[in-house]
Structure formats: C-alpha cells, structure tokens
Amino acid sequence: MTTIEVVLRLLAVAVLVAANGFFVAAEFSLVGAKDSRLAYLENKGDRLAGVVRKAQVELNLYLSSCQVGITLASLGLGWIGEATIAHTLEDAFAGVAAPFGYLARHGIAVAIAFFIITYLHVVLGEVAPKALAIFHPEQIARWLVRPLIWFTRVLGPLIWWLNESANWLLKVLGVRLPSEAERVHSPEEIVMLVRRSREHGVVDSEEQEMISGVFELTRTMAREVMTPRPDIVAVPTNVSFDELIEKTNLSGYSRLPVYEESLDNVVGVVLVKDILPTAASGEVAEFDVRRIMREPYFVPDTKSVDDLLAEFLRMKIHMAIVVDEFGGTDGLVTLEDLIEEIVGEIYDEHDIARPLFTTSTRGEPLIDGSAPIDEVNEEFGLELPVEDYDTLGGFILGELGQVPKLGDTVEVAGAQLVVDRVDDRRVRSVRLLRSEEDGADPLDQGPE
C-alpha cells in the first residue's frame, strides 16, 4: 500500500467518523427538538426552524434515513479504517517486533487498530455528537436538516424499502405503531414536567401552581368552588331601595341574587350599577327590584369548572346559581371563583384574607372548616376521602352523623380532628392532634 493510498484511506476514515457523528446528531436533534421552540423561531423569521418542523412531520422517514447513514458509515469505517491503521502500524512495528515474527507483529497491529477505530467511532462518532444534540437540539437540527433531506432524497427508494420492511415486521409481530396524537404529552405528563422544571429552577412555584390549576379545572366541579347556600347574600323581590343599598354596602358585592319567597326560588340578579340611575333620579319610593334585575343563570352542581368558565366567557356573565339534583339552590359561583382556581386567591378592597391553616397558641394546627379536603390532605399528609366530601367541615359532619358541637372528635389514621368552633351548626375551625401528641381529653382543652 503506497503512501498516497494510506493518506487517502486515513482521510476516508476521518470522513466516515464525521458522517457517523452527523447522522447520530441529526437523529437525536430531530427527536429532541421542541415544536414550541421551533414555532417561536419560525415566527421570528427563522426558515430553517420551519424546515425542521416539516421534517418532524415525517419523523419515521428521517429516522430511518439516519439509521441507514449510521450503518453505512459504521460498515465503511470497519472495512477501510481497521485495515488501513493496521497496515500503517504493522509497517511501524517492522523493526520493533521483528524477533516475534510476522504473526505477532500483525496481531499487535490489528489489536491496536481495533482499539483506535472503536475509540474514534464511539467518542467522535457517537457520544460527542449525541451529547451536543441532546443539550442543543433545536440549534443542531437547524444546522443538519438540509443535508439530511438531501441524503434522504438520494437514497429514497432504499430508505422507503427498509422502512416498509420494518413496519411489515412489526405488524406481523402484532406491534401497533403509535399515532401522532399518542406522541404528545398527556396532562399528567405535562404537570410532571412542570414539577421537574420547578425543581431545577426553570419555573417558579407560582407558575407551577397556575399550570397545574389549569389541568385541574376538568376534574373540579362547580360545587367545589361555589359559595355555599348559607353564605349567600341575597335579597327578596319586595326589598326596598334603602334595604338594597344597605345590603350592598355591608356585603361589598356588586351582584346579588333576587329570590321570591325562599332562596330555592331565585328569580333574578341585581347589579349595583343598575341601581345608580334610580339613586340619581331620586325616585326611590316606587322602586321595584324586578324592573332592573337580570335573568339568572343556573348550572348543576356537577358541572366541571372548565366548561363553566367557557360558558361564562361565551355568554359574558359573571355569576351563576348552582342547583342540586332536586332543583334547590345549592350555592352560587362567580367568574372570580373560577379564575382563582388557576391563579389562587384574589383579594380586593372588600375582602379580608383568612388563611385556611393557622397555628393555635399551643402550637397545634388549626384548620378552617371550609378548607377543601384535598388541600388538607396535601398540607398535613392525611388521607381523608375526597370523593364524598368537599370540605373538612363536611367530612366531620358526615363522620359524626349529627350536628357537631364543641370538642367533638373524629379519629383518622395517625391523628384526631377536634371541633374547635361551631357557628350556626357549621364547623368553623378544627384542631389537628397527632396520635402521639394526644395526651389529654379534647373537651378539657377548650376552644382557641
């Protein structure tokens, strides 16, 4: 083998290693490139990002193309590279290994050549380009997508035949290929990805809660976010103007339900802004709320919050009356209630912030009776049933089977829930006593 032949073969080795690295990087970058990031770059005028997105539509085709390229480069590297390097080393060892004979010299050269080719193939042809593609998928894909498309067109028939052969084999084996829809992330996977992103500092806790709240909307029903019936501020149809003004001033609400005879018969909703013309005209003696009230909107208590939010936005309304299975008024829900499921509690100038979880003077956890069951479980590591009850007060009422009174206790796994305050037959606050801390009769400890 002449010197020129050796040089040309060594150049071929370098080209084959580079080709192997090219196809490896192209494969991993196409798979790893995020469509959202590519779409952003395309909207900013990056044409290559658009080319990558089109290539991802036919991902199987281009992955097969990469595999063909990797296979051809690897075969060529083994065929040309090992023989060339072994021949070069064998000539270099001619004087050094002469006492051991030709076979020994040839064996040593082949072993070293095999190590060198393997090293070049693994490090430069596999690991390094793979790492680059994983850490910078969009950038690498934009660099390599056009050459990959050209290669795919040149070897199109071969790649098509290999791809169809693989699909046929999978079909024979009973393996179903996933559809495009099955390749996207499910809501649960997105929530998990957001959680991992927060753990690595990519998103903050507020952003995580908002994204998680969006996906929780489909699993949350109107009765879980509504203002319950006992807390509804409403007015009868025969309310006077002065009484209505007083009611709105005391409540701070801009909308009040209007009922006839009982709260189970809500006939309208009055807006504070609709009262202003009457106040300006001074004609309050003949005031009739039925003239200015608007038609109420009713929803079942099982309606999902995401559907309800869509209806609110479509119909341009801000309040709905929640009814139970018997048609009775169960509560009311506002647009603010729905938005709070995503962004958290919203406090205006009329709201008084009341935390759900506080600590008593004895250092015991003190829980608001209106606290949602799932939040109580998450905060204190309990396993209270979330299917049958919405609030902690509702759970205690159901477990006791009677109107709760001060000091009533409900035993749960690893803890005691002690009624701390009752108001109008409703549980207002509950003390949490861990089993190991419970050394006294809850009745003797008194309320906070």
Boundaries of CATH 3.30.465.10 in the chain?
357-445
Looking at 55-69, 126-140, 422-436, which range is the least confident one? 422-436
Determine the Cα–Cα distance for residues 368 and 426; give it in Å rounded to an integer.
11
- Give me the half-sphere count of Cα atoms (radius 13 Å) on the Cβ side of residue 253: 22
Mean pLDDT for 267-279 is 89
Which residues have CB under 8 Å from 112's CB, separation 6+?
85, 86, 89
pLDDT in tens, 47-64: 999 999 989 888 888 888
Report which of residues 193 and 10 the model is more confident about: 10
Phi, psi (rounded to 5 degrees) for 39: -65, -40
* pLDDT for residue 408 is more than 60: yes
Report which of residues 220 and 188 the model is more confident about: 220
Boundaries of CATH 3.10.580.10 in the chain?
221-343
* pLDDT for residue 130 is more than 50: yes
Q: What radius of gyration do the chain's Cα atoms show?
A: 36
Looking at 132-146, 402-416, 426-440, which range is the least confident one? 426-440
Mean pLDDT for 294-319 is 92
Determine the Cα–Cα distance for residues 278 and 286; give it in Å rounded to an integer.
10
pLDDT reported for residue 92: 63
**Angle ∠(150,152,154) on CA atoms, nearest 5:** 70
Distance of CA 106 to the CA centre of its chain: 61
* pLDDT for residue 348 is more than 70: no
* pLDDT for residue 290 is more than 50: yes
Mean pLDDT for 256-263 is 94
pLDDT reported for residue 103: 63
pLDDT in tens, 16-26: 999 999 999 99
Mean pLDDT for 312-330 is 92
* pLDDT for residue 318 is more than 70: yes
- Give me the half-sphere count of Cα atoms (radius 13 Å) on the Cβ side of residue 361: 5
**Angle ∠(198,202,204) on CA atoms, nearest 5:** 50
Name the average pLDDT for the chain: 83
Task: Give the whole-number percent of the chain exceeding pLDDT 90.
Answer: 26
Looking at 174-183, 222-231, 262-271, 276-285, which range is the least confident one? 174-183
Determine the Cα–Cα distance for residues 231 and 210; give it in Å rounded to an integer.
27
pLDDT reported for residue 21: 93
Name the token pair of 225. Answer: 């976010």
* pLDDT for residue 181 is more than 50: no
> Could you tell me the pTM of the whole model?
0.52
Determine the Cα–Cα distance for residues 430 and 411; give it in Å rounded to an integer.
13
Domain 221-343 has CATH 1.10.3720.10: no
Looking at 155-159, 330-334, 359-363, which range is the least confident one? 359-363
Task: Give the whole-number percent of the chain exceeding pLDDT 70.
Answer: 87
Q: Where does residue 282 rank: exposed (0-12), middle (13-18), buried (19+ CB within 10 A)? A: exposed
Name the token pair of 58. Answer: 């036919």
Report which of residues 105 and 376 the model is more confident about: 376
Place of tokens 């539509």: 57
CB 60 within 8 A of CB 89: no
SS (H, E, C) the chain: CCHHHHHHHHHHHHHHHHHHHHHHHHHHHHHHCCHHHHHHHHHCCCHHHHHHHHHHHCHHHHHHHHHHHHHHHHHHHHHHHHHHHHHHHHHHCCCCCHHHHHHHHHHHHHHHHHHHHHHHHHHHHHHHHHHHHHHCHHHHHHHHHHHHHHHHHHCHHHHHHHHHHHHHHHHHCCCCCCCCHHHCCCHHHHHHHHHHHHHCCCCCHHHHHHHHHHHHHHHCEHHHHCEEHHHCCCEECCCCHHHHHHHHHHHCCCEEEEEECEEEEEEEEEEHHHHHHHHHHCCCCCCCHHHHCECCCEEECCCEHHHHHHHHHHHCCCEEEEECCCCCEEEEEEHHHHHHHHHCCCCCCCCCCCCCEEECCCCCEEEECCCEHHHHHHHHCCCCCCCCCCEHHHHHHHHHCCCCCCCCEEEECCEEEEEEEEECCEEEEEEEEEHHHCCCCHHHHCCC
pLDDT reported for residue 100: 55
CB 352 within 8 A of CB 413: no
Distance of CA 378 to the CA centre of its chain: 18
* pLDDT for residue 396 is more than 80: yes
Determine the Cα–Cα distance for residues 72 and 249; give it in Å rounded to an integer.
81
Mean pLDDT for 131-148 is 92
* pLDDT for residue 187 is more than 60: yes
* pLDDT for residue 7 is more than 70: yes
Q: Confidence class of residue 350 from pLDDT cuts 50, 70 and 90?
A: low
Looking at 17-26, 230-239, 246-255, 348-357, which range is the least confident one? 348-357
Name the token pair of 443. Answer: 């009745």
Place of tokens 């008024």: 329
pLDDT reported for residue 441: 45
* pLDDT for residue 361 is more than 90: no
* pLDDT for residue 101 is more than 90: no
**Angle ∠(277,237,315) on CA atoms, nearest 5:** 70
CA-to-CA separations, 43 to 35, 49, 88, 144, 215, in angstroms, rounded: 12, 9, 53, 20, 27
CB 299 within 8 A of CB 322: yes
Mean pLDDT for 268-284 is 85
Strand partners for 419: 430
pLDDT reported for residue 446: 47
Looking at 176-190, 204-218, 229-243, 299-313, which range is the least confident one? 176-190
Q: Which CATH architecture has domain 357-445?
A: 2-Layer Sandwich (3.30)
Q: Confidence class of residue 145 from pLDDT cuts 50, 70 and 90?
A: very high
Neighbours of 207 (CB within 10 A): 13
